[in-house]
Structure 1
């Protein structure tokens, strides 16, 4: 079992125990987190879905990301909050970043922002990941699931 599968399995166990639901907003990872969650045990009962907002226009228009750079903490926070609301999820995780090989929004490749929004509030983290675009995306997806698991509320 790889890191994505392990993280998704942990979310599935939590969701089964609590009856709570999860949503995802992804940018640079293009659906990697959503695919891992959808493949997890019992996902049809707790996975509300995902929004893959790859373009800046979609992030601003659909996910209410404020004007300005999309590779930022405010963007990740807005993505998580909007996804939670749009999908009717108890908890949402969001990812945005510069996968490379070029910089984006003045951020170097490997700069990633993650956010979780849930009943206990919101939290965001910034990561500086190494590797080429494929490795950055894989590491970012695994980190998003790790953050989600770390912030899972005890019950509904």
Structure 2
């Protein structure tokens, strides 16, 4: 797992540099990954200046009650979108990323293990993407965390959070 961890660290370091340079703040809403994304970001340089925090909303009730995820399945594009928007507003961040999915070994909300939805919200737009990841539950979680950090890093590369 050391290779995966170094990729999380590499992406978090890139985000740290980009967020600091742009003077932007970041928030995270995690379900499937259980804090992996926020741990990587919190360990990055200068995190206290650009990382607003995170909400690990593992239970469906927390997603619905705190992040205002609409009724229905939580392993879905609408849930990921609501999570990103909700945590951005809740924590007062410029940009937020969210992840929800079925890690396995059993399906969740009718979705097979490895189904992941990621969302990024910068206040001007919210983009949701889906991934079908393979592997054991731990591998799916790490790959989902990497995908979320890559999505966030990509938004900074494209200049999205500077709008």
The interval holding the TM-score normalised by the smaller chain is over 0.9
Q: How many residues align?
A: 156
1:52-104 deviation digits (Å, cap 9, x = unpaired):
00000000010000000000000000000000000000000000000000000
Pick from 136, 140, 146 the counterpart of residue 140 of structure 2: 136
Q: If the length of structure 2 is used for normalisation, what is the TM-score?
A: 0.93
Aligned partners of 1:63, 1:102: CA distance in 2, in Å? 25
CA shift at 1:16, angstroms?
1.3
Partner of 2:128: 124
**Shift in CA distance, 143/62, structure 1 to aligned 2, threshold 3 Å:** same
Partner of 1:30: 34
1:99 is the counterpart of 2:103: yes
Aligned partners of 1:94, 1:123: CA distance in 2, in Å? 10
Partner of 1:16: 20
Name the SS for the 1:75 alignment partner. Answer: helix
Runs of 4+ in 1 over 4 A off after TM superposition: none
Partner of 2:93: 89
Name the SS for the 2:111 alignment partner. Answer: coil
Decide which structure has greater helix share: 2
Q: If the length of structure 1 is used for normalisation, what is the TM-score?
A: 0.97
Give the aligned CA root-mean-square deviation in angstroms: 1.1
Name the SS for the 2:33 alignment partner. Answer: coil
Name the SS for the 2:153 alignment partner. Answer: helix
